[in-house]
Amino acid sequence: MSEWSDRVAQLLAEPRPLPLVHAGDPVLRQVTQPYDGQLPDEQLVALITAMRETMHEAPGVGLAAPQIGLGLAIAVLEDMFAVPASIAVARRREPLPFRAIINPRYTPVGPRTHSFYEGCLSVPGYQAVVSRAATVRLQGQDETGTELDEEISGWSARIVAHETDHLAGTLYLDRALIRSLTTNENYVRRWADPVPDEARSALQF
Ligand code: ZN
């Protein structure tokens, strides 16, 4: 077995959900190694399943391999949460069925950006506003090795960008309007509006 396969076998021996890695761990700051068949196919499938279970349990809408301590370019995405219609419309938050992305990269399509609060399972307890492209072109592979090349818009584009950033050692706070930073408690109490206009005025970001 390869070193990567040994490492994944150790991870998969842990109970679910897998433990999450938090900010301050160097694995979150390293550029991941491209996935190029380092794992047997069945182990890759088992890893993706474990990542999905861990994402569900958190709960979250995405999980990148570094967040379970693994420096490989693999992430999972899924957003099937029910949200109020006002939020779904304002944030263009549409259902995103489960998928795995391997060696993803994204590029903005057009000049439009959206600024909304987001959080990260590796930075628990906080949220901040990040301006992100309204539409991105996603390239890479899926878990079967099939090449991806598609345009993704709205909240799903934010998820793609956030998770792909993780694989390059970038946290959302690196891109955030840092004066918007809020605890989850204050977010729920004050800043959960569909768009963060009041927060922008009051926090001056
Ligand atoms: Zn994250």
166-202 pLDDT, tens digit per residue, is 999 999 999 999 999 999 999 999 999 999 999 999 9
**In the predicted model, what is the mean pLDDT of the chain?**
97
Say which of 118, 150, 151, 163 is annotated catalytic. Answer: 163
Tell me the average pLDDT across 13-24: 97
CA 112 – ligand 1 centroid, Å: 23
Burial of 59 (0-12, 13-18, 19+ CB in 10 A): exposed
Q: Using alpha carbons only, give the angle 158, 96, 130 rounded to the nearest 5 degrees.
A: 15
The predicted structure's pLDDT at residue 117: 98
- Residue 110's CB is within 10 A of a number of other CB atoms, namely 11
Whether pTM > 0.75 for this model: the answer is yes
Residue 63 carries which side chain, given as an amino acid letter?
Answer: L
The predicted structure's pLDDT at residue 43: 98
CA 119 – ligand 1 centroid, Å: 7
36-45 pLDDT, tens digit per residue, is 999 999 999 9
CA 164 – ligand 1 centroid, Å: 9
**pLDDT-derived band of residue 57, with 50, 70 and 90 as boundaries?**
very high
Q: Any residues with CB less than 8 A from the CB of 109 and at least 6 apart, and which?
A: 133, 135, 136, 137, 151
Q: Using alpha carbons only, give the angle 66, 67, 69 rounded to the nearest 5 degrees.
A: 55
Instruction: Note if 118 is an active site residue.
Output: no
The predicted structure's pLDDT at residue 1: 63
Q: Residue 72's beta-bridge partner residues?
A: 33
CA 118 – ligand 1 centroid, Å: 9
CA 146 – ligand 1 centroid, Å: 25
> CA 67 to CA 83: how far, in whole Å?
25
Residue 136: closest CA among 169, 102, 160, 162? 160
